[in-house]
Chains A and B, each alone.
Chain A
Amino acid sequence: MKNSIVKRIFVYIKNYRLLVLLSLILAAITVALSLYIPILTGDGVDMLIGKGNVDFKGLFGKIFVIISCVILMALCQWLMSHLNNRITFGVVKDIREDIFEKIQKLPIRYIDSKAYGDIVNRVISDVDTFADGLLMGFTQFFTGVLTIVGTLVFMLVTNVPIALVVVCITPVSFLVAKFISGRTFSLFKEQSVIKAKQTALTEEVISNEKVVKCFSKENDFIEKFEDINENLKQVSAKAIFYSSLTNPCTRFVNSLVYAGVGIFGALLAISGGISVGRLSCFLSYANQYTKPFNEISGVITELQNALACAGRIFEILDEKSEIPDDAGALSLSKVEGYVELKDVNFHYLEDKPLIEHLNLNVKPGMRVAIVGPTGCGKTTLINLLMRFYDVCEGRVSVDGHDIRNVTRHSLRDNFGMVLQETWLQEGTIRDNIRMGRPEATDEEVVDAAKKSHAHSFIRRLPKGYDTVIGEDGGALSQGQKQLLCIARIMLSLPPMLILDEATSSIDTMTEQRIQNAFKLMMEGRTSFIVAHRLSTIRESDVIIVMRDGHIVEQGNHDELLSKKGFYAQMYNSQYSQI
């Protein structure tokens, strides 16, 4: 499992392999120089022997070499961090684009079943954590290991006993760090559970603040919040404290190493076993040597974290895409408008059949109304027609072609859809209306808006058609949003129409005018209309009355009324007295 994740990560890094290689080389140079400079400094110190005994000439030479090395090292360091940035941010961009492209291909069933926040999280923070952890972690790991190895080699070459002192004491810091992180892990886990609880409550309350106020529930929720908050405080304080013990503890080990080197080195120096310059160099190594150990233990947690994020990212990328269109899939062009549903079965959940043995035959230009109580399967029918979902059994066909043998693009191009759940994109009003036909001229846009009776309110907006509306329509009222969605369709004029409660939030006066416009538009176009207001569908050619996934009645308005069945009952409820 982990191996396969690592393999796939390499696929992303592959595009940057030259940069990665270069970065590694630079890292090696940086490490080598950072080890070399203390030697030079130590040599410099050794040239100051005492009063009147200083080798100035040799010292100047050393200083010159030190400065050159430092400048070279700085350049390498700068270039390396620049390269690392390129790699990290590049990989982040690549992965994000891949996920986004994947989202465009995911079946709607998958998107419906997931919380949006979850997917968004993967695209944003998981990718960030992944890249930071992995790439930064990797370079740190690499330089860390190089530093350790380099220091060890130098120390062993210069003086074996002191080197052994360092080697023996240092791993203790590693162990200490590991011990602490093991202990804190469970605390952090507990913390994240409580935090999630708090976030959920915050989200729920703040996004529904108005309802909370309606019932004066502010104080109850504040109480609840305080409870969780107090709990979080206790756990976080502990978690943060324990985790922050790592630094002091490892620093203590450092000072032990330092003291050890100092004592042994000095004792050796008395008997002339080591020069003072070399000793000072050793001392600075003692500082440098333990640092990568601390870093590496930190890096390991980060890497684990990164792997977990990568796992979540690949989970989305591995999700089954919509079944792609057949290579030989037909591209519908001039659609006549025959629509047929033959023995269609459909369910969202395996054990809960929704639509069973549905048959429907629609001729070109027919106006089909679908009515029925909430949850009877009306909206599902539309999901099937648009091929947002595939039928489980049976088939849906347009002009005699099973829609599974037709490209989705051409199928959807031929349907115009207005849904009850209005959805607008951030952007100008004009761009929103133009969504279905980006090449439409300004005149055509205005014309469509006029037809849908949106023109008058658009004109009154601060910047008219160029007014930018926020995410999901922003400040527009539900009714206004619906008018814009209708204008969208009036502009693209597809050969078949689906109106799912398209005018539910529009007042009846305006609705009636829009109905007239629809009527004109539906002339010669096959259309499916879902509506609660039965008055809006009386003139349909066929009214299909659905109940629990079945068609219970079918016929035109008058026929159905005279049947005195379910339809008649629904229709009459509009006229009944309290």
Chain B
Amino acid sequence: MKRLLVYFKNFKKEAVLAPGFKLVEAVLELFVPIVMAGIIDNGIGNPDPESGKRYILLMGGVLVLLGLLGLAFSVTAQFFAARAAVGFSAKLRSALFKHIQSFDYATLDKVGTSTLLTRMTSDINQVQSGVNMSLRLFLRSPIIVFGAMIMAFTIDFKAALIFAIVIPVLSLVVFGIMIITKPMYKKVQDKLDRVLKTTRENLTGVRVLRAFNRQGKETDKFNELTKELMGAQVNVGKISSYLNPMTLVIVNLGIALILYVGAGRVDSGILLKGEVVALINYMSQILVELVKLANLIVNISKSLASAERVADALEVTPDDWQIAGSVPENESKRISKTNEQDTEIVLEARHLSFSYGGGGDEALTDINMVIKKGETIGIIGGTGSGKSTLVNVLSNFYAATGGEVLLKGKDIREYDQNKIREIFGIVPQKAVLFKGTVESNLRFGKKDATDEEMWQALTDAQIKDIILEKGGLSAPVSQEGKNFSGGQRQRLTIARALVKNSEILILDDSASALDFVTEKNLRTAIYNSRAGKITIIISQRASSIRHADHILVLNDGDMEMYGTHDELLKKSSVYRDIYYSQYPEEKEVAL
């Protein structure tokens, strides 16, 4: 929680005023028993009934006035508390959202999206209600509790000592239970997470699970999990159930003690009857507050846990070497720029190597390639050979761990990120669209694209007819483009990249869901529309890349060879294997 305090910065005033007004209200409330004591001792006990009555009415008026003032102060307090809590969480939400936007690929991999999502949503909501509650109620309780004690001391020192004993004991109970249950609540949360996960799993995997007739086993597993959850809940419930009865006993023992001590003091004439009533009232006030507090404690503990999770997310920073866009001082001078004059060379990899965070083998080792203006480049290789990793490093989504990438003769890490994003257009493997319209999606890469440009891109991407059928550019796209089929989504993401018409276009196995006829037409259209620009195609299909100017063959992260189709067919055994596995007829001819 401490780590999040900075987000209160703009709400200092509210965060101070809210409990401040609460404090005044609580103090007003503390006067009530004293006024009542006055009524009993000076009103009822007055030897002259007439002046007694007058006194009672006067004090009654004071009670009403105290109530009115209390109302005014607490309404003001609620106002500031709501403002502070909401403002704080809005700030926090916005900060976390922005922070996540700044994550690079490696960080995203490491953290994972689902946990970021829960932190953005339910955790922050929990924190908000926690802050609101704390400002309104949590601070009120100690004020009332200690205020009651102070008031007791003003009445009678000896009797007030009972308060001084009761309050520490109560605090011990309240905080003790809080401390014991906090980790238990976390356990409950973890178990609940597992129940959630299993439910989800049974929905996403419904086909496979039913195909293997696993319904019974899954049900058993689920029932086991809910049983565990219930066990954990009952366990923590057992402990927190002690809270109210224990405070009840302690406070009432206090009251009994007050009666006992008070009896002696009244007998010796030190205390009046009304004062004993006031002391008892103060003790009861403490009880009422603590019962309220007990109901809050569960909430507050949950909020604290959530606050921790949010603070953790806010503290995630990319590992140093992974910060794309920064070059270590000594390294920048070391870079030789021999090819600077050769303006034809746009992108170059030199002894490029890369490994993902968390150790493990290198995913790419010593990659060297030169890409010139207007070229089409193919990248081919087996499953897990590092094709996608390579383009992600080439486009600086991951920073190289060894060697360098030169963009127009300059280390790519020296470029501004936005400049790089402008130069590169990427169609990722996972075809993702965003909620909106076809148009809003197509304008992703180029805000001011004309209708003509968009239609051209749709035509090239072989999806014009479908879009026409769906209602043209203004056709709605639902979240993640779920109203389009996989193949349609792929083609739309290609169209999106084509609208951007960037200097370098990377197609990361982005036609895998298309049938061969469509893919062939698509390839031809892209080839024609991208004359003079660089296109990098990753594919497992030899047919998709065989006509490229250069083909890079990857094998387990190593560069097997970089050359033309004909060269590779002659010299690269990996390429030959791949090619002939897809064109067995030609193999027969070649042999």
Contact = CB atoms under 8 A, between A and B. Distances in A.
A457 B384 CA distance: 10
Contact of B56 (A50, A241, A266, A571): A266
Contacts of A241: 78-79, 82-83
Contacts of B52: 270
A477 B516 CA distance: 24
B98 to A, nearest CB: 6
A251 B285 CA distance: 13
B40 A276 contact: yes
Interface stretch (B257-265, B334-342, B346-354): B257-265
B196 A124 contact: yes
B112 to A, nearest CB: 9
Interface stretch (A16-24, A199-207, A440-448, A521-529): A199-207
Interface in A312-333: none
A67 B383 contact: no
Contacts of A108: 206-207, 210
A433 B253 CA distance: 65
A146 interface: no
Can you list the 3 inter-chain pairs with the closest CB atoms, starting with the nearest?
A479-B383, A255-B67, A507-B382
Contact of B266 (A50, A60, A209, A438): A50
Nearest to A240: B82
Contact of B245 (A45, A77, A216): A77
Contact of A283 (B36, B128, B385): B36
B108 A89 contact: no
Contacts of A145: none
Contacts of B532: none
Interface in B395-412: 397
A269 interface: yes
Contact of B213 (A96, A200, A409, A480): A409
Given A259-B67, A412-B210, A471 B192 contact: no
Contacts, number: 435
B171 interface: no
Contacts of B417: 216
A156 interface: no
A97 B108 contact: no
A236 interface: yes
B325 interface: no
A480 B74 CA distance: 62
Interface in A60-104: 60, 62-63, 66-67, 70-71, 73-75, 77-78, 81-82, 85-86, 89-90, 92-93, 96-97, 100-101, 103-104
A229 interface: yes
Contacts of B514: 374, 532
A267 interface: yes
B70 A70 contact: no
B192 A124 contact: yes
B507 to A, nearest CB: 12
A90 B234 CA distance: 9
B148 interface: no
A457 B383 CA distance: 11
B564 interface: no
B70 A100 contact: no
Contacts of A492: 212
Given A213-B397, A214-B426, A45 B117 contact: no
A34 B572 CA distance: 90
Interface string B200-217: 111111111011111101
B1 interface: no
B330 interface: no
Nearest to B71: A252
18 contacts: A59-B260, A78-B245, A124-B199, A215-B444, A236-B82, A237-B87, A251-B71, A252-B71, A276-B44, A375-B485, A386-B207, A412-B212, A423-B207, A471-B200, A534-B516, A574-B516, A574-B543, A574-B582
Contacts of A217: 444
Contacts of B211: 386, 412, 415-417
Contacts of B40: 266, 269, 276, 279-280
A393 interface: no
B581 to A, nearest CB: 4
A415 B210 CA distance: 11
Contacts of B242: 78
The A contact surface, by secondary structure, is helix
Interface residues of B, number: 163
B299 interface: no
A186 interface: no
B234 A573 contact: no
Given A241-B78, A248-B78, A533-B582, A86 B234 contact: yes
B36 A262 contact: yes
A377 interface: no
A263 B237 contact: no
A559 interface: no
B293 to A, nearest CB: 14
A252 B205 contact: no
Contacts of A105: 215
B241 A251 contact: no
Interface in A405-447: 408-409, 412-413, 415-417, 419, 423, 425-426, 435-436, 438
Interface string B229-259: 1100110011001101110110011011001
B113 A206 contact: yes
A577 interface: yes
Interface residues of A, number: 156
A204 B435 contact: yes
A18 B440 CA distance: 61
Nearest to A239: B82
B74 A247 contact: yes
Contact of B90 (A208, A229, A374, A571): A229
Contacts of B321: none
B142 interface: no
A123 to B, nearest CB: 5
A56 interface: yes
Given A120-B199, A423-B208, A374 B487 contact: yes
Contact of A435 (B103, B108, B214, B222): B214
Nearest to B431: A211
B500 A101 contact: no
Nearest to A63: B256
Given A255-B63, A270-B44, A103 B203 contact: yes
Given A78-B241, A206-B117, A269 B44 contact: yes
A52 interface: yes
Interface stretch (A5-13, A302-310, A340-348, A508-516): A508-516
A45 B74 contact: no
B132 A240 contact: yes
Interface in A83-139: 85-86, 89-90, 92-93, 96-97, 100-101, 103-105, 108, 111, 116, 119-120, 123-124
Interface stretch (A147-155, A220-228, A354-362): A220-228
Contact of A573 (B203, B519, B540): B519
A41 B68 CA distance: 30
A504 interface: yes
Given A41-B255, A63-B260, A204-B480, A249 B244 contact: no
A48 B276 contact: yes
A549 interface: no
A45 B259 contact: yes
B153 interface: no
B117 to A, nearest CB: 6
B256 A119 contact: no
B415 interface: no
A386 B209 CA distance: 12
A216 B421 CA distance: 6
A200 B59 CA distance: 57
Contact of B113 (A124, A209, A213, A269): A209
B63 to A, nearest CB: 4
Given A71-B249, A77-B245, A252 B207 contact: no
Given A54-B263, A85-B234, A215 B584 contact: no
Interface stretch (B172-180, B448-456, B520-528): B520-528
